[in-house]
Amino acid sequence: MILPALNFPKKPADMNRRDFLKSGGAVATLALAPGVTLMAFGGQASAAADPGKRWGLLIDVNKCPSDCSACVSACKVENGWGNDKHAADHPEAAPQWIRKVSLTDKSTGREFALPVMCQHCENPPCVDVCPTNASFKRPDGIVLVDKHRCIGCRYCMMACPYKARSFVHEDVTDQKTHAPRGKGTVESCTLCVHRVDAGGAPACVEACNTTGNAAMLFGDLNDPDSEIAQALKAYPSVAIRDDLGLNPGVRYSNL
Amino acid sequence: MERTLYREIKATRQIVQLAVLLAAFIAAAALAVLYIEHHGHIVTGMNNQIVWGMPHVFAIFLIVAASGALNVASIASVFGQVPYKPLARLSGLLALALLAGGLAVLVLDLGRPDRLIVAMTTYNFSSVFAWNILLYNGFFVIVGAYLFVQMARSMPYGVIRTAGTIAFLWRLVLTTGTGSIFGWLVARQAYDAAVMAPLFVAMSFAIGLAVFLLVLGLITWLTERPLGEKLVARMGRLLGIFAGVVLYFTAVQHLTNLYAAEHSGIEAFILWEGGLYTNLFWFGQVLIGGLIPIALVFHPTGGAKPASAFVASALVVAGGFAQLYVIIIGGQAYPLEMFPGYQVTSGFSDGVVNAYSASYLEVLLGLGGVALALAITGVGMKVLRILPTNLSDANIGQD
Amino acid sequence: MKRLFVLLMLLAGLSAAPVLAGDLGPVVPRASGKPHPEGNEFWRINHMLLMVHDRDQTMRLGNREVQASLAECVDCHAVKGADGAPVSAEDERHFCRTCHDYVAVKIDCFQCHNSRPEAPKQALRTPEPADMPGILAYLKEAGE
């Protein structure tokens, strides 16, 4: 059986299928047999997650006001969580992809706040403990849950030092097309992988910039010329629970 | 002394009544599972702070008891203690049944139990959880084979001994794996300790023997088969030693933590100010599950009475359950230490002790697992020649 | 016994009657886009294989330029209800359900995925010059 594969140009999100057919052309064919790659795309390697990259965030705690939660609201809208049926009456059971944590230094009394989400570790404990490989790290360092494979055992939630993962405790409807989520599986911050793949930045970063605080910087940690790499080189920063040696992709300055 | 005769148990009125009772519990658990799966885990007491709850306490209790229940057979086959030999078959059967019950609870609490096939076919070999799946499956195969060679006609003793040794070593690895599910969790203050593995092994010795004694006492009483007082008292004393070993490892665990300033928070929580968890620890685990049973079985006069061993067994079971509740629920109730030296608050329960109260659904699911384990044991004894007809002191061998 | 057999056959015939009227198969709703160049038969047989393959490509490797994406299936095949809005997989008119109900195969997609097209949203990034031919073609067709 021969499958003529189509080469689609990079597509903006508001185009539909027929335009791809219109503007695309066949590039490769491959026999369809069990265990064999179904199709090959000409020159498409660059379209996939680049193993040479490592996406990360740098959060300047000094620029993050305690009363602002624009990043959390933006994430809710972007990824469609926070409005589950029992989110209000069972907040402890409601999923939380990103949260604002308020801190008070016990010895000095200094008060500040910062957002905490999946820290996209280089050595993620959630990936180590997942029995079915549902937790995984993409080649470009983004840690995700494969909800097709997640059996809902919640061991990753036990293993995560950041409480970044949530279990969906009830039926979910009207999910965002780019952020599928459903009952009985675990979910967490995806670093807005759909935006990153389209060349954009996570919704939280965008919202933070919109407020004018610009406390969050997104970029490729591996690219020495990127803004984030330059900032990390120039100013001191820390990772939460650095002692665990997980090398998170999310860093904080002025913590 | 006559030969030890193993005979199927008869379906007497009492046995049938017990079977109906167990079936009712299993059916209730099945309904609870359907209800949870339909509505989601929102109907349970578990949430995104306490992610493992009452079903996990039951499941791990049963799994730990399973490997421990095999000890009686190991003592007979591996360590050659003659009086235990007639009990070896029941020990193997009970071990299999308890593991099946525990795994049933664990699996039915999954968010997507319909995807069990994924867990069976996709392994992540860096996951201690995945290792445990292999260890559990291996346990079924090995203990099944061990039971078979014990019951096969004219099987040379060497074969039984070899099978028993493999099963014994496997069960040590298995419980090490169960303990390591917690011991290797670096993220949480309450876990992340190598002592978890030997602690769980010790717990399995104590809980497993206690469950075995209770089941043996119940079934011999129901079938009106004689059970030697000396045999029971002897197993009771062994139980006392095991309970002491559990206390020892518990003391090591907490003393080590107390010495490190970074763990002072969790230790204060469990040992002094944790409310329910502190009470469960001191009164449930240490007093009821440790000191009282030890005192009962080693009492100069009362220790020889079978009642002491049975009461001690019931107390060890209760104490073991309390201990697992403190480890599993208490360990999660204590807030995750993300920012040492800071006072933490958030909209997602950061920095606060997490509350948990099990829903009746979770309790039904857990009890269903216990009922399933007992039902499998009962059916096994009904169809196979597991239980000796005469376990009186006069009739069993002495060493 | 014989009578029972006849009765059963009659019942079977009755229950099969609506199916026969529909040309031995379910009535699949028309999609809004152009036909698959590979043919409907190919997609009917292989859609699961293609979607599973491409979903792993997308999710695990970040390859977004795949051919079989559930979102695009849903976009193009959406069936509108009486109110003019696309129906969800709860509705038996949903395009997936017309066949899946017929062959009694459970769909496990829509516990997590949305079974309806999402309302058009803003482009996630500024279009690059390379995209322009496609966009112009789209606009042209939309104007027609």
Mutate to test the interface with C, among A16, A137, A197 (most CBs of C within 10 A): A16
Measured between beta carbons, which residues in chain A are less than 8 angstroms from residue B177?
none
CA distance C2 to chain A (A): 47
Over residues A19-41, mean pLDDT: 35
B112 to A106: CB separation less than 8 angstroms, yes or no: no
pLDDT in tens, A190-247: 999 999 999 999 999 999 999 999 999 999 999 999 999 999 999 999 999 999 999 9
**Chain C residue at shortest CA distance from A192:** C124
More confident residue, B193 or A22: B193
Confidence of residue B43 (pLDDT cuts 50, 70, 90): very high
Q: Is B41 on the interface with A (CB under 8 A)?
A: yes
CA distance B189 to chain A (A): 10
Q: Is B125 on the interface with A (CB under 8 A)?
A: no
Q: Is B47 on the interface with A (CB under 8 A)?
A: yes
Cβ–Cβ under 8 Å, residues A129 and A159: yes
Query: Between the CA of residue A76 and those of A71, B43, B294, what are the distances in Å?
Result: 9, 24, 56
Backbone angles phi, psi at B268, to 5 degrees: -60, -40
Tokens of B70: 């095999």
Which pLDDT score, from 0 to 100, does residue C127 have? 44
Strand A186-187 relative to strand A166-167: parallel, antiparallel, unpaired?
A: antiparallel
Mutate to test the interface with B, among A151, A156, A170, A252 (most CBs of B within 10 A): A151
Q: Which of A242, A247, A227 is nearest to A58 (CA)?
A: A227
- Please report the number of interchain residue pairs, chain A to chain B, with beta-carbon separation below 8 angstroms: 169
Q: Report percent pLDDT > 70 for chain B.
A: 99
Choose the weakest-confidence range: A24-28, B15-19, B246-250, C119-123. Answer: A24-28
Q: How many residues does chain B have?
A: 399
**Chain A residue at shortest CA distance from C49:** A38
Q: What is the DSSP letter of C25?
A: S
Which pLDDT score, from 0 to 100, does residue A30 have? 36
Which pLDDT score, from 0 to 100, does residue C132 have? 56
Give the count of alpha carbons within 13 A of C144, CB side only: 6
Q: Is A139 on the interface with C (CB under 8 A)?
A: yes
- Chains in contact with A, where contact means 3 or more Cβ–Cβ distances below 8 Å, are B, C
A169 to B130: CB separation less than 8 angstroms, yes or no: no
Q: What is the DSSP letter of C30?
A: P
A157 to B343: CB separation less than 8 angstroms, yes or no: no
pLDDT in tens, B259-308: 988 899 999 999 999 999 999 999 999 999 999 999 999 999 999 999 99
Q: How far apart, in whole angstroms, are the C-alpha atoms of residue A188 and residue A179?
A: 11
More confident residue, A4 or B68: B68
Which pLDDT score, from 0 to 100, does residue A21 have? 37
Query: Between the CA of residue B203 and those of B68, B129, B133, what are the distances in Å?
Result: 8, 19, 20
Which pLDDT score, from 0 to 100, does residue A16 have? 39
More confident residue, A13 or B357: B357
pLDDT in tens, A48-63: 889 999 999 999 999 9
A153 to B346: CB separation less than 8 angstroms, yes or no: no
Q: How far apart, in whole angstroms, are the C-alpha atoms of residue B357 and residue C40?
A: 54
pLDDT in tens, C31-40: 888 888 888 8
C111 to A22: CB separation less than 8 angstroms, yes or no: no
Q: Indicate the angle between helix axes B157-183 and B128-151, nearest 10 degrees.
A: 160
Confidence of residue A32 (pLDDT cuts 50, 70, 90): very low
Cβ–Cβ under 8 Å, residues A210 and A68: no
Helix H or strand E encompassing B388: strand B387-388
Q: What is the dihedral of CA C53, C59, C65, C69, to 10 degrees?
A: 60
- Look up residue A58 and give its amino acid: L
Which pLDDT score, from 0 to 100, does residue C118 have? 82
Which pLDDT score, from 0 to 100, does residue B119 have? 83
Q: Is B85 on the interface with A (CB under 8 A)?
A: no
Q: Is A146 on the interface with C (CB under 8 A)?
A: yes
Domain ranges of chain C: 2-120
Q: Which domain holds residue B16?
A: 9-336+353-387
Choose the weakest-confidence range: A77-86, A105-114, C1-10, C85-94. Answer: C1-10
Q: Which of A110-119, B151-160, C44-53 has the highest average model confidence (pLDDT)? A: A110-119
Over residues B312-332, mean pLDDT: 97
Mutate to test the interface with B, among A96, A102, A106, A187 (most CBs of B within 10 A): A102
Confidence of residue A19 (pLDDT cuts 50, 70, 90): very low
**What is residue B398's three-state secondary structure?**
coil
CATH number at residue B361: 1.20.1630.10
Which pLDDT score, from 0 to 100, does residue C6 have? 59
C128 to A10: CB separation less than 8 angstroms, yes or no: yes
End-to-end CA distance of chain C: 65
More confident residue, B65 or C9: B65
Measured between beta carbons, which residues in chain C are less than 8 angstroms from residue A147?
112
* Average pLDDT over all residues of chain B: 94
Strand A55-60 relative to strand A250-253: parallel, antiparallel, unpaired?
A: parallel
| Domain presence at residue B399 | no
* Structural domains of chain A in order of their starting residue, each with its CATH number: 2-47 (no CATH), 55-253 (3.30.70.20)
CA distance B29 to chain A (A): 19
A101 to B345: CB separation less than 8 angstroms, yes or no: yes
Which of A100, A169, A244 is closest, CB to CB, to B42? A169
Choose the weakest-confidence range: A80-94, B68-82, B233-247, B385-399. Answer: B385-399
Low pLDDT (below 70) residues in chain C? 1-23, 119-144
Which pLDDT score, from 0 to 100, does residue A35 have? 35
Over residues A90-113, mean pLDDT: 95
Mutate to test the interface with A, among B124, B178, B336 (most CBs of A within 10 A): B124
CA distance A227 to chain B (A): 27
Which pLDDT score, from 0 to 100, does residue C134 have? 57
Query: Between the CA of residue C4 and those of C9, C13, C14, C85, what are the distances in Å?
Result: 9, 14, 15, 47
pLDDT in tens, B198-255: 999 999 999 999 999 999 999 999 999 999 999 999 999 999 999 999 999 999 999 9
Query: Between the CA of residue A95 and those of B103, B209, C72, what are the distances in Å?
Result: 27, 42, 28
Confidence of residue B162 (pLDDT cuts 50, 70, 90): very high
C63 to A198: CB separation less than 8 angstroms, yes or no: no
Over residues B11-18, mean pLDDT: 94
Please count the other Cβ atoms lying within 10 Å of the Cβ belonging to residue A75.
27
Q: What is the DSSP letter of B68?
A: H
Which pLDDT score, from 0 to 100, does residue B122 have? 87
Q: What is the DSSP letter of B41?
A: G
Which pLDDT score, from 0 to 100, does residue B118 have? 85
What is the count of structural domains for chain B?
A: 1
A131 to B130: CB separation less than 8 angstroms, yes or no: yes
Mutate to test the interface with C, among A6, A19, A133 (most CBs of C within 10 A): A19
* Range 229-268 of B in CB contact (< 8 A) with A: none
Which pLDDT score, from 0 to 100, does residue A20 have? 37
- What is this model's ipTM? 0.92
Q: How many residues does chain A have?
A: 255
